[in-house]
C-alpha cells in the first residue's frame, strides 16, 4: 500500500528550538492514524508539519507523493483538510460562509471575493451542515454558536475541501457521545468510500482504539511507539499511556 | 537605576530646551487683561454670520468626509501589504515607507502643496485630508490586521486559498471591528483638522476664520467658532451613537 504521509527523521520547531525531534512515521493511504500524548508533547506541531503550516528543519517528509526537505513549502494544501485545535473560524461570518471557505481553492478568485459561490458548492455546504446537525443554524453567525456547534462548523469546512488527507486536531472535544459516534461513522465512511487518509489527535484512549487503524504515541516531541490495530490491547495501551502521562 | 537615568535625561532636556523659548509666567499673567478685552470685543457674536458660517462648515464636513473615504480606500491595500502576518519583507518595507512618508506632513502642509498644485478651493482640501489619512490610517490599519489571531489565517490558508482570498475571508473580517472604529476616529480627527485648511486657501470655514481674524472682527470670529464647536460636538455624538449601536454588538 502507498503511503499518503511519510516522515523520515523530521525535526522542527519555533524560534530555533526543536519541538518535534527526529520523528519518523508512515501513514498508508486510506487509513486512520490516531496520535495521542500529553499536552505539550507536540501533537499540534506534528499535524502542522503534515500540511505545511510548520516546515521541517531537518529530515525529509513526503506528502501525497511530494517530497519536502528543510524549509521547503509544498503545494498540497488544497488536498488536505485541516480542523485546527482552536478551529480558526471567522466569527463574523455565518456557518454556511465558513463552510464555503473550504471550497475557495476550487472557485474563481473574483467571484469568491464577492462571496459568490456556484450553486453546487452551496448545495454541498448545506448538505455537510446537515450531516453535522446544523442545518437549522446555517445562517447564524459563528459568534452566536456554542462551542460544540463551532467545532462542527470546522469539521464541515474540512469536509468541504473533498480532501485526500484529513488532519483533525482534537476535533471530538466538547461533543456529546451521540455526535461523536455520528462523526466517527462519517470519518469511516470518508475513508471507505473515497480512500481518504485521516490523522486524528485525540485525548480519549477509547475513541483512539475504536477508530484508529494505528495509534502513535508522542511524548516530548518524540515518537514513542506506533501500534497497529491488531497489536492494540487495552493492557498494552494503558501501560504505554500511563508511562507517557507521568 | 535605569529608570533614574531615563527621568534624569528627560529633566535635563526640559531645562535645556526651555531656555530660548522665553517662557515667562509674568507675561502670562500680565496678558490676562488682553484676553478680557478680546472677549469684550467679540461679544455679542455677530449672528449675521450664521448663514455664511453654516454653508462654510458644511463644506468643511464635506471635505473631511470625502477625504476620509478616499484616504481609507487608498490606505487599505497599502496597510494589507504592510502586515507581517500576510506578506514578506519584500512588500512590507516599501509599503510602510510610503505610509511613513505620507505621515510626515500634517494635513495643513499638504493643503499648502495642493493649493499650489490645483489652486485654492475645497478640492485642495480634499486631497490634503486624503493624503494624511492614507499615511495615518494606513498605520492604524496594519496594526489592526497584525493584531488578529493566527488561527483563522492558518485555517483559511490551509484550504489552499490564495492570498487575496485569505485577506478577504480571514484578515479583513477578523479585523473589521477595529478597522471600522478607526475609520470613525479618523473622520472625527479630520473634521477638526479640516476647520483650519481654509487658512491656506483649501476651502471650508477656515477661510472665513482666517480672514476675519486678520481684519480683527472678533464678533464674527466668535460666531464662526461657535458654529464649529456645535458641528464638532454633533459629529462626535453621532460617532458615539454609531459605535454603541453597531460596533458594541459585534464584539466577541
Ligand atoms: N507558534 C509557536 N511558537 C512558539 N512555540 C510554540 C508554538 N506553537 C507551539 N509551541 C510550543 O511547542 C510545544 C508543543 O506544542 P503543541 O504542538 O501545541 O503540543 P500539543 O498539541 O501536544 O499540546 C509547546 O511547548 C508550545 O509552547
Ligand atoms: Mg495541541
Model confidence pLDDT, tens digit, residues B38-69? 888 888 888 888 999 999 999 999 999 999 99
Q: What is the DSSP string of B73-97?
A: HHHHHHHHHH-TTTS-HHHHHHHHH
One CATH from 3.40.50.300, 1.10.3720.10, 3.10.105.10, 1.20.140.10 for B49-251? 1.10.3720.10
**Residue B148 DSSP class:** S
pLDDT for residue A240: 65
pLDDT over 80 (residue B205): yes
Query: Which residue is closest in CA terms to ligand 1's atom 18?
Result: A44
ipTM associated with this complex: 0.90
List the single range of A96-110, A173-187, B10-24 with lowest mean pLDDT: A173-187
Chain A residues whose CB is inside 8 A of the B168 CB are 112-113
Sheet with strand A32-36: strands edge to edge: A80-83, A165-169, A197-201, A32-36, A214-219, A222-228
**A57-82: pLDDT as tens digits:** 999 999 998 887 776 677 788 899 99
* Whether residue A43 has its Cβ less than 6 Å from ligand 1: yes
Q: For residue A116, what pLDDT band results from cuts at 50, 70 and 90?
A: very high
Chain A closest CA to B247's CA: distance in Å? 12
**Cβ of residue B160 closer than 8 Å to a chain A Cβ:** yes
* Whether residue A44 has its Cβ less than 6 Å from ligand 1: yes
Contact B155 A112 (CB under 8 A): no
Chain B residues whose CB is inside 8 A of the A112 CB are 165, 168-169
> Nearest Cβ partner of B152 from A51, A53, A88?
A88
pLDDT for residue A85: 93
List the single range of A31-40, A46-55, A155-164, A219-228 with lowest mean pLDDT: A219-228
Contact B159 A104 (CB under 8 A): yes
Query: pTM score, two decimals?
Result: 0.86
Contact A78 B173 (CB under 8 A): no
Domain chopping of chain B, boundaries: 49-251
> Nearest Cβ partner of A105 from B160, B174, B176?
B160
Mean residue pLDDT of chain B comes to 92
Contact B162 A109 (CB under 8 A): yes
The atom number, within ligand 1, closest to the CA of A41 reads 22
CA dihedral B13, B17, B19, B20 (to 10 degrees): 170
Q: For residue B252, what pLDDT band results from cuts at 50, 70 and 90?
A: very low
pLDDT for residue B66: 98
Cβ–Cβ under 8 Å, residues A209 and A32: no
**Cell numbers at A11, concatenated:** 525535526
CA A164/CA A79 separation, integer angstroms: 5
3 state SS of A120: helix
Residue whose C-alpha cell reads 464678533 in the numeric block: B219
Query: For residue A10, what are the β-bridge partners?
Result: A23
Q: Is the peptide bond before B44 cis (omega within 30 degrees of 0)?
A: yes
Contact B159 A161 (CB under 8 A): yes
* Alpha carbon of residue A87 to chain centroid: 11
CA B53/CA B36 separation, integer angstroms: 25
Q: Are strands A32-36 and A222-228 parallel, antiparallel or unpaired?
A: unpaired
pLDDT for residue A160: 95
Q: Which of A92, A41, A107, A52 is nearest to A76 (CA)?
A: A52
CA B204/CA B227 separation, integer angstroms: 12
pLDDT over 90 (residue B148): yes
Which of B77, B85, B155 is the best residue to mutate to test the A interface, defined by the most A CB atoms within 10 Å of its own CB?
A: B155
Amino acid at each position: 500500500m502507498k503511503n499518503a504521509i511519510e516522515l523520515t527523521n523530521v525535526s522542527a520547531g519555533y524560534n530555533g528550538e526543536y519541538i518535534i525531534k527526529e520523528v519518523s512515521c508512515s501513514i498508508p493511504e486510506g487509513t486512520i492514524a490516531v496520535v495521542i500524548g500529553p499536552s505539550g508533547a507536540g501533537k499540534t506541531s506534528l499535524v502542522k508539519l503534515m500540511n505545511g503550516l510548520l516546515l521541517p528543519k531537518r529530515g525529509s517528509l513526503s506528502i501525497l507523493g511530494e517530497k519536502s526537505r528543510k524549509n521547503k513549502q509544498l503545494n498540497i494544501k488544497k488536498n488536505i483538510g485541516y480542523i485546527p485545535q482552536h478551529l480558526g473560524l471567522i466569527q463574523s461570518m455565518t456557518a454556511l460562509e465558513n463552510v464555503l471557505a473550504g471550497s475557495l481553492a476550487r472557485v474563481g478568485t473574483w467571484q469568491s471575493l464577492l462571496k459568490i459561490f456556484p450553486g453546487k458548492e452551496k448545495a454541498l455546504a448545506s448538505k455537510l451542515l446537515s450531516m453535522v446537525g446544523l442545518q437549522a443554524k446555517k445562517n447564524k453567525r459563528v459568534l452566536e454558536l456554542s462551542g460544540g456547534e463551532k467545532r462542527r462548523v470546522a469539521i464541515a469546512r474540512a469536509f468541504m475541501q473533498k480532501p485526500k488527507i484529513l488532519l483533525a486536531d482534537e476535533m471530538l472535544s466538547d461533543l456529546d457521545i451521540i455526535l461523536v459516534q455520528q462523526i466517527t461513522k462519517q470519518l469511516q465512511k470518508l475513508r471507505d468510500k473515497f480512500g481518504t487518509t485521516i490523522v486524528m489527535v485525540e485525548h480519549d484512549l477509547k475513541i483512539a482504539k475504536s477508530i484508529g487503524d494505528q495509534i502513535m504515541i508522542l511524548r516530548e516531541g518524540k515518537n514513542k511507539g506506533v501500534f497497529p490495530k491488531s497489536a492494540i490491547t487495552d493492557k498494552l495501551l494503558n501501560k504505554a499511556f500511563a508511562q507517557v502521562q507521568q | 537605576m535605569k529608570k533614574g537615568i531615563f527621568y534624569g535625561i528627560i529633566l535635563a532636556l526640559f531645562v535645556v530646551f526651555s531656555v530660548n523659548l522665553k517662557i515667562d509666567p509674568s507675561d502670562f499673567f500680565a496678558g490676562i487683561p488682553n484676553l478680557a478685552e478680546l472677549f469684550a470685543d467679540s461679544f455679542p457674536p455677530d449672528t449675521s454670520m450664521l448663514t455664511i458660517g453654516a454653508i462654510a462648515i458644511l463644506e468643511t464636513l464635506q471635505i473631511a468626509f470625502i477625504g476620509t473615504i478616499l484616504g481609507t480606500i487608498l490606505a487599505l491595500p497599502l496597510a494589507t501589504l504592510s502586515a507581517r502576518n500576510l506578506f514578506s519583507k519584500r512588500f512590507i518595507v516599501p509599503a510602510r515607507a510610503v505610509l511613513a512618508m505620507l505621515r510626515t506632513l500634517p494635513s495643513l502642509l499638504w493643503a499648502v502643496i495642493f493649493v499650489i498644485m490645483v489652486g485654492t478651493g475645497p478640492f485642495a482640501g480634499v486631497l490634503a485630508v486624503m493624503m494624511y489619512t492614507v499615511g495615518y490610517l494606513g498605520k492604524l490599519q496594519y496594526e489592526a490586521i497584525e493584531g488578529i489571531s493566527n488561527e483563522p489565517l492558518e485555517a483559511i490558508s490551509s484550504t489552499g486559498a490564495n492570498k487575496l482570498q485569505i485577506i478577504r475571508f480571514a484578515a479583513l473580517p477578523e479585523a473589521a471591528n477595529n478597522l471600522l472604529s478607526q475609520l470613525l476616529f479618523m473622520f472625527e480627527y479630520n473634521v477638526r483638522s479640516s476647520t483650519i485648511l481654509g487658512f491656506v486657501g483649501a476651502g471650508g470655514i477656515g477661510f472665513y476664520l482666517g480672514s476675519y481674524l486678520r481684519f480683527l472682527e472678533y464678533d464674527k470670529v466668535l460666531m464662526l467658532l461657535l458654529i464649529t464647536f456645535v458641528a464638532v460636538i454633533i459629529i462626535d455624538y453621532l460617532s458615539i451613537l454609531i459605535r454603541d449601536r453597531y460596533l458594541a454588538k459585534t464584539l466577541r
